[in-house]
Amino acid sequence: MGGVLSLHKLEKRKFLHLIDLIDAKMNMMNRALDKVKPGEFTERIYPLENRAFYKPVMD
């Protein structure tokens, strides 16, 4: 019984870890997009596979 409970806790921790990674990456992207004007690209963000993101012009 203890093994099943431990596996459940491990799966929950892994899931929470993945959610935390997504949150951190979204935060990095949003902070970079806040620094640029619409129609421009951000600087490259190394932790996000060295990508630059485009901030679209919203009419």
Record the pTM. Answer: 0.78
**pLDDT tens-digit readout, 36-56:** 999 999 999 999 999 999 999
Alpha carbon 20 to its chain centroid, in Å, reads 8
pLDDT at residue 1, as a whole number: 52
Q: Return the structure tokens found at 16.
A: 């929470």
pLDDT at residue 42, as a whole number: 98
| DSSP letters spanning 2-58 | HHHHHHHHHHHHHHHHHHHHHHHHHHHHHHHHHTS-TT-BPPPBGGGTTB--B-PPP
